[in-house]
Structure formats: structure tokens, C-alpha cells
């Protein structure tokens, strides 16, 4: 069982703040991507950000820009960020289930957890970006099958992380032996964050298999409240304590267009709903200025919630 009121470093933040990095078209071009990422990550790490995320995409999402914009492979990037940081949690927001065989995915996340000193999340979802999948030759089954694959992958994760070395015989995946050494340092395993807002499948999977949900904050407080109520009902139906689920949100903030006071007020609204971990995209993050503002004015303020 995870205690999401605290962590191994005994931080006392009630509202945890995370940073997602969805853009890699930095000043200086491709040669400067590594150095820029390192500077961003180390600033966030030293400044008290709780988590650092990258998207598991291979083309840029078209609702955020041209597909041809730079996009790094997520787990290579997370390994690089692990070496550059000391405390911040690391994860993909969220791994598309179709992109990696489940046993190899769990091995990858286990490796990230071991080499980062126990700082990995497994962020996972059913995948949706058909263009990048077909563009790179990845099979892209219908929605129903992708959700079946997601459920089996979650079952495989639990089996491998419980050190149950046995066959897994599912509809889509067949593993002869779920051997996974070394096991992760995170106990009982890296937290499993399931992304998405679907009420019948995704939120049920969170209640049954997950340790964290991720909801879109821009849906507004009324919709967020409804989604969390659905999650609670799934937990009740399954006999799972709702309090065991970490409630996270994702959204974009541009501090040149809003104020720290407004962000703090928004975070209080989220906290009042039960959200414990707010993750932000910051379009101008490479300037470091928005990170400095969060570190100086926003992260300290959430201690008073």
C-alpha cells in the first residue's frame, strides 16, 4: 500500500507539484536538447518539484503543434533525467500500451526505478495517437482490443512485481515465465498511474489495478468532481479504499498570462476536490523563469493548504 501523504524523503507538501516536458524544440537546436533538459530537470529537482514527466509519443501531438516538431523517446529520456537528478519522481505521461511488449515494459520501468534510486512511476494508458503508430509500423488495434491489452498489461505488472515467476496466459499476451530481477526499489512496486477519464473502463482499472489516476484539470471542477465520484464508486464496488488512490491532474500554465496568486487559488480548488498532485506543462520552461516562480511563490504556498 502506498502512503501518498508522504514519501521516503518525508516531504510535507499537501499538494504535490509536477512538471511535464512535452516540447523539445529548444533554442540552439538539436545539439542543445540534452543540456537544456538537464538544466530544466536540475532546477525542478532542487526547487522542490515532486515529479518530472515526459510524454510517451514519437510524433508531436497535433493539437499542440506540428507532428514534425522534435519528440524524444520517453524511456531513454527518463533514464537521462534520472542520472541528472536526485529526488524528483520520474514517469511517462502515459505509456501507450501498444508500443512495448508488457514483460519488456515492466523490465524497463523496473530498471529505471533501480537506477534512479526508487523514483519511477509506471504511467500507462490504452494509447490513442493512430498517426504515429501507423507511421512507425506499430499495430494499432481497435479501441476494445487496446483496452483488453491494457488490462492484461496491468495484470502482468502485478504478477512480475509480486515476484510470481509463473506463466501468464491471456487473450493477447502469453509469457512463459514472469522473471524480473532485479526487482524495483520502490515498495511494494513503482506506483501505477493510469491516464484517462473513461468511466466504465479506465477509472475501473484505476480502482482495480492502479495506484494513481490522472485527470485533465481543464475539464473544470464540476467534471473533475464527477469523475472522482465515479472512481470512488468503483473503489467501493471492488472493496478498494479510495484513499489509496493518488489523485493527479494535468494541465498547461503560462505564467506570462496568469499570476502566481491565480495558480495558487486554482490549486486550492483542486485540493478541495481531493487532488493531491498537480502536474503542469509550461510552454516557456526552457527560460527557467516559470520554474523559479513556482519555486519561490507557488510551491511554498501549498504547504498552507
Q: Where are the domains of the chain?
A: 16-304
* pLDDT above 70: residue 3: no
Alpha carbon 235 to chain centroid distance?
Answer: 21
What beta strand segments (E) does 27-127 contain? 51-54, 89-92, 95-96, 122-125
Specify the pLDDT at position 225.
98
Collapsing DSSP to helix, strand or coil, 222 comes out as helix
Specify the pLDDT at position 300.
95
Q: Which residue has the higher pLDDT, 7 or 177?
A: 177
Average pLDDT score over residue span 295-300: 96
Specify the pLDDT at position 7.
45
Average pLDDT score over residue span 260-274: 96
- The arrangement of strands across the sheet holding 277-281 comes to 89-92, 51-54, 16-21, 277-281, 246-252, 212-216, 192-195, 122-125, 95-96
* pLDDT above 60: residue 8: no
The string of pLDDT tens digits covering residues 78-109 is 999 999 999 999 999 999 999 999 999 999 99
Specify the pLDDT at position 70.
97
Share of the chain above pLDDT 70, in %: 95
Q: What is the pLDDT of the chain when averaged over all its residues?
A: 95
Confidence of residue 6 (pLDDT cuts 50, 70, 90): very low
CA distance linking residue 109 with residue 147, whole number of Å: 20
Specify the pLDDT at position 215.
98
Specify the pLDDT at position 9.
39
Place of cell 538544466: 39
Length of the chain: 305
* pLDDT above 60: residue 273: yes
* pLDDT above 50: residue 2: yes
CA distance linking residue 82 with residue 89, whole number of Å: 9
Measured torsion, CA atoms of residues 83, 182, 11, 197, in degrees rounded to the nearest 10: 90
State the cell numbers at 239: 472493496
Q: Do strands 212-216 and 246-252 pair parallel, antiparallel, or not at all (unpaired)? A: parallel
Confidence of residue 169 (pLDDT cuts 50, 70, 90): very high
Residues 281, 294 contacting (CB under 8 angstroms): no
Specify the pLDDT at position 211.
98
The string of pLDDT tens digits covering residues 102-129 is 999 999 999 999 999 999 999 999 999 9
What is the CATH code of the structural domain delimited by 16-304? 3.20.20.30
Confidence of residue 305 (pLDDT cuts 50, 70, 90): confident
Confidence of residue 1 (pLDDT cuts 50, 70, 90): low
CA distance linking residue 76 with residue 81, whole number of Å: 9
State the cell numbers at 22: 512535452
CA distance linking residue 224 with residue 231, whole number of Å: 11
Confidence of residue 12 (pLDDT cuts 50, 70, 90): very low
Amino acid at each position: 500500500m502506498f502512503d501518498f501523504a508522504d514519501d521516503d524523503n518525508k516531504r510535507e507538501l499537501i499538494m504535490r507539484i509536477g512538471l511535464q516536458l512535452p516540447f523539445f524544440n529548444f533554442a540552439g537546436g538539436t545539439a542543445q536538447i540534452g543540456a537544456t533538459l538537464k538544466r530544466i530537470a536540475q532546477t525542478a529537482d532542487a526547487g522542490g518539484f515532486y515529479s518530472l514527466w515526459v510524454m510517451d509519443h514519437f510524433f508531436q501531438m497535433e493539437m499542440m503543434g506540428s507532428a514534425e516538431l522534435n519528440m524524444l523517446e520517453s524511456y531513454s529520456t527518463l533514464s537521462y533525467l534520472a542520472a541528472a537528478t536526485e529526488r524528483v519522481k520520474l514517469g511517462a505521461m502515459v505509456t501507450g500500451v501498444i508500443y512495448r511488449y508488457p514483460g519488456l515494459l515492466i523490465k524497463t520501468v523496473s530498471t529505471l526505478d533501480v537506477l534512479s534510486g526508487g523514483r519511477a512511476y509506471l504511467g500507462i494508458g490504452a494509447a490513442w495517437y493512430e498517426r504515429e503508430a501507423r507511421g512507425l509500423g506499430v499495430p494499432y488495434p481497435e479501441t476494445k482490443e487496446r483496452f483488453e491489452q491494457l488490462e492484461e498489461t496491468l495484470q502482468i505488472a502485478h504478477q512480475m512485481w509480486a515476484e510470481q515467476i509463473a506463466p501468464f496466459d491471456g487473450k493477447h499476451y502469453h509469457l512463459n515465465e514472469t522473471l524480473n530481477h532485479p526487482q524495483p526499489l520502490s515498495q511494494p512496486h513503482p506506483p501505477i498511474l493510469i491516464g484517462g477519464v473513461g468511466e466504465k473502463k479506465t477509472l475501473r482499472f484505476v480502482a482495480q489495478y492502479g495506484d494513481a489516476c490522472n485527470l485533465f484539470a481543464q475539464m473544470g471542477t464540476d467534471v473533475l468532481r464527477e469523475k472522482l465520484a465515479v472512481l470512488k464508486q468503483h473503489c467501493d464496488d471492488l472493496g478498494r479504499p479510495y484513499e489509496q488512490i493518488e489523485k493527479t491532474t494535468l494541465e498547461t500554465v503560462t505564467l506570462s498570462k496568469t499570476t502566481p496568486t491565480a495558480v495558487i487559488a486554482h490549486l486550492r480548488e483542486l485540493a478541495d476536490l481531493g487532488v493531491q498532485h498537480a502536474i503542469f506543462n509550461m510552454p516557456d520552461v526552457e527560460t527557467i523563469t516559470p520554474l523559479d516562480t513556482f519555486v519561490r511563490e507557488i510551491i511554498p504556498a501549498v504547504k498552507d493548504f
